[in-house]
């Protein structure tokens, strides 16, 4: 990655302009009006459901022309474009690396993107507006703390909820004069690397085996156990022919699963989904499956793959006798 991201490299960005970039929902902007020095913003629309075939053809054409060293993308947005590329049989320029940002990349995102960018390294970055970059994924697949610029405190969950390796993080920026005394609860759930080491040789700070989603993604089984998006996504990935999904826990023991799929056997798909989710949430779980044509992002511009209607008080699930920090 260091050889690709030189600081002078060309970078194309496919995200919601609510997060970064240039917004224009009424008028399609020219490539020149979406270009800023070495950066090219491929999307100016706040709702990707409004992307026309012409807009996606333009994105493909601009990638082929601009030939970025790095493509930074919301995984759901890039997956949407990749589904179109696959369906239309087009080819697109292969950058040196793709960096995921702003959203949790599901297994379906990975599958759809790898159908198009078959040999391009896919890298996840994690950060927030308040704290900057906190973790970056290495070539071995682990996520490493940006320990020179932030302190991360890890608070494990109780063993029955995945602890001591699973828990939430609190982040304190070190080089921001306005907030270096502020510890942010970023709402992110992570899993520590059990060995505390990584084969890449970078062993300073916390090392994560995975980001497990956010607090807002947590759901509960019928017995009251926490379920992270990472765990849910592992179960959902067993379904074939899925483009998108969203699970909403509407009440204790009740769940609403929204599916977008190209499969014609919708009844069988619903049966398979209910079977898998009952194994995860409990045999007494009430699960309704809704077949959708698309799923819109949240008002923030980001997709939520899972959520619960009733807020979860995370402090109840922390193992407060086993909380430690890391610089």
What was the pLDDT predicted at 326? 47
d(C-alpha 292, C-alpha 3), whole Å = 43
Question: What pLDDT, on the 0 to 100 scale, is given for residue 83?
Answer: 98
Question: Could you give all domains of the chain from N- to C-terminal order, each with its CATH number?
Answer: 11-120 (no CATH), 143-196+206-214+315-326 (no CATH), 219-311 (3.30.300.30)
Regions of the chain where pLDDT drops below 70: 1-7, 129-132, 176-181, 323-327
Contact between 51 and 83 (Cβ < 8 Å) = no
Listed residue (8, 53, 62, 72) closest to 35, CA to CA: 62
CB contact at 8 A, 158 and 177:
no
- 100 and 73 Cβ atoms separated by less than 8 Å: yes
Q: Is the dihedral of CA 126, 214, 116, 86 positive or negative?
A: negative
User: Are the C-beta atoms of 123 and 140 separated by less than 8 Å?
Assistant: no
pTM (2 d.p.): 0.91
Which residues on neighbouring strands pair with residue 135, listed in sequence order? 126, 145
pLDDT value of position 205: 87
Closest CA to 23 of 37, 43, 39: 43
Asked if residues 60 and 80 have their Cβ atoms less than 8 Å apart, the reply is no
User: CA–CA separation, 22 vs 20, rounded Å?
Assistant: 7
pLDDT value of position 257: 98
Q: Give ∠ CA 154-245-289 in degrees, rounded to 5.
A: 120
Q: Each residue of 105-161: pLDDT tens digit? A: 999 999 999 999 999 999 998 877 666 678 899 989 999 998 888 889 999 999 999
Nearest CA-CA partner of 246 in 124, 115, 104, 73: 104
Q: 145 with 158: CB under 8 angstroms? A: no
What does the block give as tokens for 273? 């989904």
């Amino acid at each position: 990655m260091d050889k690709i991201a030189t600081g002078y490299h060309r970078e194309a960005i496919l995200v919601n302009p609510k997060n970064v970039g240039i917004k224009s929902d009424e008028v399609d902007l020219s490539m020149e009006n979406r270009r800023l020095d070495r950066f090219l913003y491929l999307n100016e629309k706040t709702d990707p459901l409004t992307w026309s075939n012409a807009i996606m053809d333009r994105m493909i054409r601009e990638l082929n022309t601009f030939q970025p060293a790095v493509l930074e993308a919301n995984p759901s947005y890039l997956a949407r474009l990749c589904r179109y590329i696959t369906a239309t049989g087009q080819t697109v320029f292969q950058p040196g690396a793709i960096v995921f940002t702003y959203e949790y990349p599901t297994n379906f995102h990975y599958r759809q993107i790898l159908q198009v960018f078959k040999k391009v390294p896919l890298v996840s970055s994690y950060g927030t507006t308040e704290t900057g970059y906190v973790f970056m994924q290495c070539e071995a697949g682990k996520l490493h703390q940006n320990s020179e610029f932030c302190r991360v405190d890890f608070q494990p969950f109780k063993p029955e909820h995945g602890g001591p390796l699973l828990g939430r993080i609190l982040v304190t920026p070190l080089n921001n004069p306005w907030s270096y005394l502020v510890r942010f609860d970023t709402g992110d759930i992570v899993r520590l690397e059990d060995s505390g080491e990584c084969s890449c040789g970078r062993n300073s700070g916390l090392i994560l085996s995975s980001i497990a989603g956010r607090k807002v993604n947590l759901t509960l089984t019928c017995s009251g156990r926490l379920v992270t998006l990472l765990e849910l996504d592992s179960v959902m990935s067993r379904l074939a022919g899925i483009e998108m999904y969203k699970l909403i826990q509407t009440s204790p023991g009740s769940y609403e699963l929204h599916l977008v799929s190209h499969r014609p056997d919708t009844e069988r798909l619903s049966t398979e989904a209910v079977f898998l989710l009952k194994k995860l949430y409990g045999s007494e779980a009430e699960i309704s499956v809704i077949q959708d044509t698309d799923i819109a992002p949240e008002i923030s511009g980001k997709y939520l793959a899972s959520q619960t209607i009733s807020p979860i008080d995370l402090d109840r699930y922390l193992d407060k006798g086993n909380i430690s920090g890391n610089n």
